[in-house]
Amino acid sequence: MDAVIIPDKEALGKCAWCRKRIRDDREVFAFGAKIRDEADLSEYEGKTVRLMLLSEDRGVPMMVATEGSDAKNDGSDVMFLVCSEKCGKEMKAALEREKSIGDIFAGIHHLG
């Protein structure tokens, strides 16, 4: 996977969904996701990369968990930070739409 690494300040200081600044004195919400076995993010462990959501035509910051981290031990390969439960629900719905796009095709074959 070719990914664009995002500076920590950009990833940690803003909501992954609405991109509003997350103030230090506010509660932050996080949720994790498991990636497909064939997706190799090992070179990005401990970094934040931009995940392109084709169904939304935008990129969102995705933190890649490291081996031995709490996230990884809980079964999450990646994490997303959001500013509210509302943003979390909207982003999860978008990720489900994105996942369904990927689940449609088992392969693409050339005709002719």
- Which tens digit of pLDDT belongs to each residue from 4-55? 899 887 788 899 999 999 888 888 899 999 988 888 899 999 999 999 998 8
d(CA 92, CA 78): 13
Give 80: exposed, middle or buried? Use CB within 10 Å, 0-12, 13-18, 19+: buried
Read off the tokens for 106. Answer: 């088992």
> What residue spans define the domains of the chain?
5-103
- Which tens digit of pLDDT belongs to each residue from 41-94? 999 999 999 999 988 899 999 999 999 999 999 999 999 999 999 999 999 999
* Cβ within 8 Å of residue 92, ≥6 positions away: 31
